[in-house]
Amino acid sequence: MRKRKIRVGLIFGGRSGEHEVSLVSAQGIMKAIDKEKYEVLPIGITKDGRWIASGDPMKALQSGLTAGSEPVALLGDPSQRGLVRLEERESGLVATRLAEIDVIFPVLHGPYGEDGTVQGLLELAGIPYVGAGVAGSALGMDKLIFKDLMRAHGLPVVPYIGIKRKEWERDPEAVMERIEAVLQY
């Protein structure tokens, strides 16, 4: 008797400046994943934040997420556990169930992907996912808070200094003096 494959939602693309890097990462995962064990449902996010699904993930990746794709959404409702297809009709926007997902593999780089944002949506939806949780992702994106946390727990951290944009804009010379005092060279 054949065991049902685990359906993996592979989320890639995204609104960050690292959109293209995410596409390359997703391509690598699509090539490497064990297709005997896993059924991959590719879910692309365009640069302007639209979620799409495609029957041919490699073609979608190579065409900038537009070829043969349809608009989809991931609902924050745990009773749905998956994607819905979005269709515009005369009566308005209609959502129909597209696929139930067993686990999400987010391959999003930068803001809206590695910062806890998508992890929060997945928590709301009750869908398990690969990687760090909401808090770990958010802390990992804020390098200053992360370094402070590591130091507070006795882990070695190289000397550093945090600079706010407003500080720099107000008095760059004072900021440079602080940097030279802390980070001697």
**Domain boundaries defined on the chain:** 6-132, 143-182
CA of residue 34 relative to chain centroid, distance: 22
pLDDT at 25: 94
pLDDT at 74: 87
Comparing CA positions, the residue from 53, 48, 8, 64 lying closest to residue 32 is 8
- The answer on pLDDT for 58 being more than 70 is no
Question: pLDDT: is 95 or 117 the higher one?
Answer: 117
Q: What is the mean pLDDT of the chain?
A: 88
pLDDT at 61: 59
Average pLDDT over residues 98-105: 91
CA dihedral 71, 75, 78, 84 (to 10 degrees): -20
pLDDT band at residue 77 under the 50/70/90 scheme: confident
The class (CATH top level) of 6-132 is alpha beta
